[in-house]
A and B are shown apart, each in its own frame.
Chain A
C-alpha cells in the first residue's frame, strides 16, 4: 500500500504552491516590464529575431538620416543653381541691351560694370557653404591651411581651387549615391570658368576703341550655353532628390513594418497576459485554500 505521510502532503503542497508562485512571478515580470521577452531563454528564436529587427531598424534609421542630409544638401545646391540661373538671365538681358549700337560709351561701361559685379555675385554663390561646408569644392569643403586653401573659386583669378571629390553616402545596404556636384562640373567648361566668361563679357562691353559687336554676340551665345549647362545640372539635382525621396519613402515603410514585427515579438499581449494573470491568481488562491485544508487535520483532532 502506498502510505501518505504528513510530510509528503506538506512537501507536495509546498511544491505546488511554489510552482504556482513561479508562474505568477513570470506574469508579474512581463507586466512590469511590458515585454514578452526579458532574457534570451524566454524564447531564443524570438529573441534572435528581435535583435535582428533592432539592427535592421537602427540601420534604416541611419540610412534615412543620411538621405535627409543629402536631400537638404541638394536642395541647397538647387537653390544656389537657381540663383546662378537668375544672374545669368540678368547678364544676358544686360548684354543684349549693351550690344545695341545706340548705347553710349558711358552706358555700355556701366553695363559692363554691372556684368562684372554679377560675375562676382555668381562667384559668391559658387563659394557658398551649407552647414559650414563649401557645396562646390569637392572634398575641399572647408578652409585648409595644409594646402593652403581658402574657397572653391579664387576671388581674384576666378580659378577653380577645389578637387573632383564625389561625396557618397550609403542609402541602403551597399547602395551608395553621390550627392554633390563639384565646381569643376558645374562652373568650368573647356578651360574657363563661368566667372571668367562673364568677366570677359564685361570687359568686352567696356572695350576702349570701338564696339566689337561680333565678340559680344559670341559672348552672349556663351551665356546661353551656360544657362543650358546650369539647367542641365538643376535637372540632375532634381532627379536625384526625387530618387532619394522615393527611397526614403520606401525605407520608412520598411521601418514601420519592422517596428511592427519587433513589437509583435517583444511587446506584451496585454489582454492575454492580464487574463492569464487572473486565471493564475485564482489557481493560486484555490491551491492556498486546499493547502489550508490538507495541512490542518490529523487523527488527533478527532480523538477526545
Chain B
C-alpha cells in the first residue's frame, strides 16, 4: 500500500530541487558576463526508491520512486582545452611583448622620412662635398659643423631612445615579476579554500573558476606546467621548478644585475638560480631588453665607431685654415668618442670651424681632404659584422631588418591572437552562459515547480478528504 505521507515528501523534494535549479539558473544569468565564469548546472537524480510489498508477491508491482534530489552542482569545464589555451597564451604573451617593442623601435627608426637619419647622413656627406668645392669659405665650414652636430646628436638621440626603451622594459619586467608572485599567492589561497570545501564532498565551482582564470593569466606571463592533486589543489611549475605546490609558495624575485646596475635579473627568491623561461610575456620582455634592443645598439655603436675612425683617419692628414704650412699636419680629430653614446664633434672645431682640415697641402683653396672625406660616402667598409658595405647601406640594412622583424612580430602576434581566440571560443561554447538556454531552463524549472506545488495541494486535499470526510457514514 502506498504511503500518502511519502507522496508529500516527494512533493517537497520536487519543490526544493526545482528551486535550487532555479537558483543555479539565476547564478548563471548573474554571471553571464563574469570573466572566467563557467556555466553551472544542478544535476537532478532520483532519490532512492523503495520496494512495495503486496499480498501476492513480496516485491511487485515494483519499486516506487521517492522523488528527486540535486546530486551535485556541475561546472562545465574542459581541462584539455584549458591546457591547450594556456600553452598558446604563453606564446601569445611572448609575441605581444615583441610586437609592442618593434612598434617602439619603428618610432625610433622612423623611415622613410624627410627628416629621418638617412637624410641626416646624406646631408652630412653633402656638406663635405660643399666644403671640397669651397674650402676657404667660412659660412660653408660653419654649415658643415652644424650638419656634423646634427648627425652626432641624431646618433646620441637614437642611442638614448634605445636605452630608454630598455629601461621601460626593465620596469615592466619588475611589474611582471610582482604580478607572477601575486597570482601565485592567490592560487595558493584558493588551493586552501578549494581543498577545505571539497573535503566535504562539495564542488568548489566558483573558487575553481577563479583559480582557472589565474592560471590563464599566469600562463600568458610565463611558461607554466601544472597538475591537480587529489585534494583538489594545483601544483604549478615554472620551467620545471615549483612555483606553487598546494599551500607552499616559491616566489620569484627581480634583483639588480651584476653587469648593469640599472637592470634587474629574475631569480627564484633567495637563490642564485634563474627560472628556466621558454616563452610567455616575461621571456618576451627579457629577450627584448637583452637581445633585440642591444642588437640595434650594437649595430649603431659599430656604425659610429667606424664613422669616427674613418673620418678621423683622413682628417688627421689635413690642415686647417690657420695651421702652419711648414709643419706637418697637426693630426686633429674631427670626431671624438668611440660609440653611439659619446660620439661628438671635436670641441675645438665647434669653437672654430676654420680648424676643419679640408686642405691636403695647407693652402686655403685646397679641398682635397674634404673631398676624400666626402668620398667615404660611397666607400665600402667592414662595419661590425657586415662586410664591404657603405655607411648608407649599413643603416638601410638595419632599417630593413627592423622592418622584416616588425612585420613578422605583428603577423605572429596577430596569428597567435587569432588561435587563442579560436580556442577560447571553443571553451566559451562549452563553458559559456547562453541567455537563451538559461531563459528556457528558467521556464522549465518554473513549470516543474508550479506542477510540484499543485501536486502537493492535491495530496493535501486527499489527506483532508481522508481525515475530515471519512467515517461519517450514517451521521
Beyond A52-B396, A142-B136, whether A8 also contacts B363 by CB under 8 A is: no
Q: Report how far A58 CA is from B122 CA in the complex, Å.
A: 6
A-chain residues with CB within 8 Å of residue B425 when the two chains form the complex: 8, 11-12
A257 CB–B CB distance under 8 Å: no
A76 CB–B CB distance under 8 Å: no
When the two chains form their complex, are residues B428 and A51 in contact, meaning their CB atoms are under 8 A apart? no
Q: Which of B3-11, B298-306, B369-377 contacts A (4 or more CB under 8 A)?
A: B369-377
Q: Report how far A8 CA is from B440 CA in the complex, Å.
A: 19
When the two chains form their complex, are residues A140 and B404 in contact, meaning their CB atoms are under 8 A apart? no
Beyond A7-B428, A15-B421, whether A47 also contacts B126 by CB under 8 A is: no
When the two chains form their complex, are residues B363 and A163 in contact, meaning their CB atoms are under 8 A apart? yes
Task: Classify chain B: how many residues form its interface, as a range.
Answer: 35 or more
B119 CB–A CB distance under 8 Å: yes
Chain B 319-357 against A: per-residue CB contact (8 Å), 1 yes, 0 no? Answer: 000101100000000000000000000000000000000
When the two chains form their complex, are residues B400 and A174 in contact, meaning their CB atoms are under 8 A apart? no
> A174: which of B112, B366, B375 is its contact (CB, 8 Å)?
B375
**By the criterion of a CB under 8 Å from any partner CB, how many residues of chain A are at the interface?**
61
When the two chains form their complex, are residues B133 and A169 in contact, meaning their CB atoms are under 8 A apart? yes
When the two chains form their complex, are residues A139 and B361 in contact, meaning their CB atoms are under 8 A apart? yes
When the two chains form their complex, are residues B365 and A51 in contact, meaning their CB atoms are under 8 A apart? no
Chain B 93-118 against A: per-residue CB contact (8 Å), 1 yes, 0 no? Answer: 00000000010001001111000001
Return A62 CB to nearest CB of chain B, in Å. Answer: 4
When the two chains form their complex, are residues A48 and B400 in contact, meaning their CB atoms are under 8 A apart? yes
When the two chains form their complex, are residues A144 and B364 in contact, meaning their CB atoms are under 8 A apart? yes
When the two chains form their complex, are residues A3 and B434 in contact, meaning their CB atoms are under 8 A apart? yes
A258 CB–B CB distance under 8 Å: no
When the two chains form their complex, are residues B430 and A169 in contact, meaning their CB atoms are under 8 A apart? no
Beyond A3-B430, A47-B400, A147-B325, whether A168 also contacts B364 by CB under 8 A is: no
Chain A 46-64 against B: per-residue CB contact (8 Å), 1 yes, 0 no? Answer: 0110111011001101100
A-chain residues with CB within 8 Å of residue B403 when the two chains form the complex: 39-44, 47-48
Name the residue among A5, A45, A69, A70 with the largest chain B CB count within 10 angstroms: A5
Q: Report how far A97 CA is from B151 CA in the complex, Å.
A: 67
When the two chains form their complex, are residues B365 and A141 in contact, meaning their CB atoms are under 8 A apart? yes
When the two chains form their complex, are residues B428 and A8 in contact, meaning their CB atoms are under 8 A apart? yes
B-chain residues with CB within 8 Å of residue A131 when the two chains form the complex: 134
A96 CB–B CB distance under 8 Å: no
Q: Report how far A176 CA is from B367 CA in the complex, Å.
A: 13
> A300: which of B410, B434, B435 is its contact (CB, 8 Å)?
B435
When the two chains form their complex, are residues B436 and A299 in contact, meaning their CB atoms are under 8 A apart? yes
A133 CB–B CB distance under 8 Å: yes
B-chain residues with CB within 8 Å of residue A141 when the two chains form the complex: 136, 363-365
A170 CB–B CB distance under 8 Å: yes
A293 CB–B CB distance under 8 Å: no
Chain A residue at minimal CB-CB distance from B33:
A7
Q: Report how far A48 CA is from B401 CA in the complex, Å.
A: 10
A276 CB–B CB distance under 8 Å: no
B18 CB–A CB distance under 8 Å: no
For chain B residues 428-458, which have a beta carbon within 8 Å of chain A?
A: 428-430, 432-437, 439-440, 443
B399 CB–A CB distance under 8 Å: yes
When the two chains form their complex, are residues A140 and B396 in contact, meaning their CB atoms are under 8 A apart? no
A98 CB–B CB distance under 8 Å: no
When the two chains form their complex, are residues B399 and A66 in contact, meaning their CB atoms are under 8 A apart? no
> B122: which of A54, A137, A174 is its contact (CB, 8 Å)?
A54
> A298: which of B395, B406, B430, B435 is its contact (CB, 8 Å)?
B435
When the two chains form their complex, are residues A167 and B367 in contact, meaning their CB atoms are under 8 A apart? yes
Chain B residue at minimal CB-CB distance from A37:
B112
Beyond A47-B399, A51-B112, whether A139 also contacts B365 by CB under 8 A is: yes
B257 CB–A CB distance under 8 Å: no
B-chain residues with CB within 8 Å of residue A147 when the two chains form the complex: 325
Return B259 CB to nearest CB of chain A, in Å. Answer: 30
A-chain residues with CB within 8 Å of residue B133 when the two chains form the complex: 66, 69-70, 169
When the two chains form their complex, are residues A299 and B440 in contact, meaning their CB atoms are under 8 A apart? yes
When the two chains form their complex, are residues A3 and B429 in contact, meaning their CB atoms are under 8 A apart? yes
Beyond A3-B434, A55-B118, whether A170 also contacts B374 by CB under 8 A is: yes
A165 CB–B CB distance under 8 Å: yes
Chain B residue at minimal CB-CB distance from A168:
B371
Return B404 CB to nearest CB of chain A, in Å. Answer: 5
Chain A residue at minimal CB-CB distance from B368:
A168
Q: Report how far A297 CA is from B283 CA in the complex, Å.
A: 44
B123 CB–A CB distance under 8 Å: yes
Beyond A58-B126, A140-B364, A142-B364, whether A47 also contacts B435 by CB under 8 A is: no
Beyond A55-B122, A168-B368, A169-B133, whether A40 also contacts B436 by CB under 8 A is: no
> A54: which of B118, B407, B435 is its contact (CB, 8 Å)?
B118
A266 CB–B CB distance under 8 Å: yes
For chain B residues 364-413, which have a beta carbon within 8 Å of chain A?
A: 364-368, 371, 374-375, 377-378, 392, 395-397, 399-400, 402-404, 406-407, 410
For chain A residues 26-47, which have a beta carbon within 8 Å of chain B?
A: 35, 37, 39-45, 47
B-chain residues with CB within 8 Å of residue A11 when the two chains form the complex: 421, 425, 428
Q: Report how far A147 CA is from B363 CA in the complex, Å.
A: 9
**12 residue pairs from A and B, CB less than 8 Å apart:** A7-B428, A48-B397, A51-B399, A58-B122, A134-B365, A139-B359, A139-B361, A140-B363, A147-B325, A163-B361, A169-B133, A299-B440
Give me the interface of B with A, judged by CB distance under 8 Å: 32-33, 102, 106, 109-112, 118-119, 122-123, 125-126, 129-130, 132-134, 136-137, 322, 324-325, 359, 361-368, 371, 374-375, 377-378, 392, 395-397, 399-400, 402-404, 406-407, 410, 421, 425, 428-430, 432-437, 439-440, 443
- Minimum-distance CB pairs A-B, first 3: A141-B365, A44-B403, A40-B403
Further 8 A-B residue pairs, CB within 8 A, beyond A39-B403, A40-B402, A54-B122:
A3-B429, A4-B434, A8-B432, A41-B102, A51-B396, A52-B396, A141-B365, A146-B325
